[in-house]
Structure 1
Amino acid sequence: MPDPVGRGTETGAGSRDPPDGPRIRAQFATADLPRHLALFYRTRAEQLATVSAFVERGLALDERVVYLADENEVETVVDALDATGIDVAACRDRGRLRVEDARAVYGEDTFDPARTVDGVESLAREAVEDGYAGLRLAGENTWSFEADCEFDSVIEFERDFDRRCPEFEVTALCQYSLDRFDDAAVGKALQTHEQVVYRGRLCENPYYVPPAEALEAGAPLSNGTLLLEQTRDVDRFERDIERREQRLSVVNRVLRHNLRNDLNVILGRLDWFERSDADPGQAEQIRVIRDAAERLLALSEKARHVDRTLESVDHGQVPLLDCIEETVDDLESELPDLRVTLERAPPDAAAAADSVVGLAIREVISVAAERLDDPSVTVSVRTDGPAGVATVDVAATDPFVSQGTRDTLRSGSEESLQHAVGLSMWVVKWVVESVNGSLRMPSDGPVDRIEFTVPTVPSSGPTDRSV
C-alpha cells in the first residue's frame, strides 16, 4: 500500500509529554470498553504505557491476551510488560499471553480482510474453549505498510470485524502511529472505532460511524490530528460540563428552596412575636427563631465550603493506606470525641490512589461525627473486587445519612436536600466519580455504612498480579 508517512515533524500536540501509566490504568480498570477501540500515539513511551495497561487489565479479567507486534520487536513489548509488573514468562508458558509477529494473523505478503476476520474469530473461539473469559487483542497496525494492499482494505477489515464483533468475546485495541499514518488514514480509522485513546485519555468518539451506516457516510474525514484533538476536548468538556451543571443545580436548589423555607419560618415567627404580648411564649419563639437562623447559617456556610472544596481539588497519586491514616489522624485531632477504628488491608493490597480519597474519607467521617451521639466509626479497605480497584468502607453502629439523602444520591437529582449532610455526600459522590470511582450505600433505609471505590495502581515496584 502507499506509505501515508511524513508527519513526524509536526509540533503542537506532538510535542506534549506522554501520558503516565497510572492514569490510563485507572481508566481501563473502571471504564465499560467497547469491543473495538483504537490508540492514536506519537511516541513509543506513550504507546507502550497504554498497551501495557490494556494487557494488564485483560489478564486481570482472566482473558487470553494476544499482542501482535510489528513496529516494535517482540522483546521490546515483552520488556515493557515486564516493567509493568506482569510475569510475562509465566503467562506465556501457560498460554494466557501471546506476543508474536503481526503477520501471523494479518498475513505475510497479501492481506485478505475476510480471511483475517476468520482468523480473529478462531482465536476468540479457541480462548473460550480453553476456559478463558474471552480474547483481548492488541495489534500494531504498521504491518499494513508492508502488505500488498491499500489502506481501504484495512478499513474494510475494521468494518467487517465490527459487523461480526457481537459474535466474538473480544476486546480489540488497534494502534495507529501519528508519525506514520497520514491525516486521510487517521480520518478513516477514526470513523471505525467507538472509543479512542489519545494523549492518555480514553474518549467516546463523536466521529464513529456504525457499520450499518458506513456505506452512507460519504467521503472520509480529513485532518486526523485536528479531529483527535477535538475528540479529546469534546469528551473532557462534556464530562466537566455535566459535573458543573449538577453541582450548580444542587447548590442553587439549596439556596432557592432550603434557605427560602427557613427564612419564611423566621419571618413568620417574627410576625407572631410582634403581634403578641404574651410573655410566656417569648422564650420559646425566640428559640425557634434562633434554631432556624442557625440552620440557615450552617447551610450557607456548607454551600460555600462545597464550592471552594470542589474548586481546589488537587489530583495526584498517593499511597492509599497512608492517605487514609493521615486523614483519620487529622480528624481525630480536630474532633476529640471521634473514635475511628482503621482496619488495614493485607500487605499485598498496598496500592496508590488519587489523593481525592482523603477528601472523600474526611467528608464521610465528618458527617458521621456531626450526626451521631456516639461518633464511633470503622474504616476498612478491601481489594477483593476487580483488579486495580479498591473499596473503602466507612461504617457506624447507627445510621448517619437519612433515607432521603440516600435516595437523592441514587437518583442523581437534587430534590429534598434538608441538611448540610446532603451537600457533604454530594461532595463525596463528585470527587469519587471524578477519578472513575463509584459511591454506594448498601442499606435500603437510613444509612449506617458508606462504600466508595477508587482505581489503584501498585505503589512501588513491580508486583506479580498476573498469575
Structure 2
Amino acid sequence: MSQDAGPSPQHDSLEERVEDAEPLSVESGLEALRSSSEFRGPVEPLDDVEANEHIALFYESREEQFSAVVPFVRQGLERGERVMYVLEEHEEDEVIAALSEAGIDVDTAVDSGALTFHGIDETYLRTGAFDPDEMLEFYGEALAAATAEYPALRITADTRWILDDQTTIEDFMAYESRVNDLFRGEDCIALCQYDREAFPSAVLTDIVRTHPHLIYDGTLCHNFYYTPPREYFEPDEPTRDVNRMLGTLVDRTEAKVELNETIEELAESNERLKRFAYIASHDLQEPLRMISSYLQLLENRYGEDLDDEAEEYIDFAVDGADRMREMVDGLLEYSRIDMQDADFEPVDCDAVLEDVVTDLQLRIEESDAAIVVEELPAVVGDANQLEQLFSNLVSNAIKYSGEGPPRVEVSAERQGDRAVFSVADNGIGIESEYVDQIFEVFNRLHSNDEYRGTGIGLALCRKIVRHHGGDIWVDSELGAGTTFYFTLPRATA
C-alpha cells in the first residue's frame, strides 16, 4: 500500500517552492475548510489563540468524514506539500474514489510522490503492536524526507486501530504529547480522524481534552476543553482542570453578555438609521415638488420672453428635479420595508401576478411583450411587498428587452417548505462581472439616456425577499437573457 516518494513533476522548481512557501499552520488548515464547497459548517477564527497544528475530526458518516478530509488533502496538494494519508487497508479504494470525485488527480499525485498512502501495519503497528518510540521515529523520518523536497508535510490518519486489545488510550495520549513536541515549530499539520460511533464515550472524552481544535457536525472550532497532553498526565491536573473549566465558563458568559449588548446597540442604531432614511426621504419630496412646480410656472408665464437656450436650461432642471423625486420615492419605499410589521399571511401569488400584469398592461401592449405565467404556489408574506417585487422584476424584463419583442416567463418550484420562483427574459443580459453589483442601491449599469431608472428597483427586490426570510440571485448571459431567482416561504394548506 505504501507509495514511495518519487521525483516531483516540477522537480526543477522545488527549491523555489520550498523557499517561497508560506509557513504551514492551523490557520492554513482552516483556510482549506473555509474555501471548500464540501465543508458547509462555520469555521471559528483563531485570533490570539496559541495552539499546535493538531486537529481532531469527529465524524458519524462517510459524507461527514470526507467533507473535512478531502479539502484538507486537496489544499496540501495545491500548495505543493507532501500529503501522507494513513488508513485501513480495506478502505483505500473508497478514499481514492472520494478524492477523485472532488477533482483530485490521485494517480498523478501518487506518481509524483506528493500523495502517499500508508497502512496501519506499516505505521502505528509496525512491530505488531503500538510502539510510541517506533512511531515517533517513523514520523520524524517522514518529516525530514518531506521537508527536504517539499514545503511542508500534511498528515491525516484514521485512528480506529487504537481500539485493538493491545493498545491503551493512556499509551496513545502519552504518545500524542510527544508528537506535539516532534511537530512543534515544524512545517507540519495533522488531521486525526475519529469515528464517533466506534469509540466509547470515556475514550472520546480523553480525545476531546487532548486536541486543541475539533471538527464535528459540520463545525470547526477552537476547543475550550483542550488540556495540553503534558499537563494531562501531571498529578495536579484535576485541580488545574477545575480551574480551567471554571475559567472557561466565566469567559464564555462574559463574551455572551458583551455580544448581547453589542447586538442591542446595533439594533438601536439600525432602527435610528431606518427612521432617518424614512423621514429624510419623506421631507425631501415637498421641496422637490416645489422646484418642479415653480420652474414650470416660470416657463408658462415668461415662455415668450425666453430664448431656446433658456428653455433648454429649464427643461434640464425640471428633468433633474423629477428624477430626484423618483429616487426619493424609491428610497421612501426602500426604507418602508423594515418599518412595516412582519405579520405575514398566506398570499395567492397567481392573484398577485394577475394584478401586476394588469398594472403593466399599457407597457406590455406598447412593447408587444409576451408574459407567460405558470401556476404559482401560495406563500406566506406581505401581498403589497410581493406585488412590488414581481412588478419590479417583470417591468425590468420588459425594459431591458433589447430590439426584439420581450418574452417574460414566471414560474416556481416547490422545495420543501420553500418555493423557488424564477422570472426569466430574453433580453440584453448582464455581464458576469456585474451580477454581484446590481442589487446595490443606486448602482446602475446603464446611463439614464439609455434606460431611465433610479437604481433602487433591484435593491428593493432584495430587501423585500430578505424581509421574507428568502434569498435572491441572478443567472444571466450577455445578449441571451436573464433569469432572477428568489425563495419565499410556502403557505401550508
Q: TM-score, normalised by structure 2?
A: 0.47
Larger Rg: 2
Bigger RCO (CA 8 Å, 6+ sep): 1
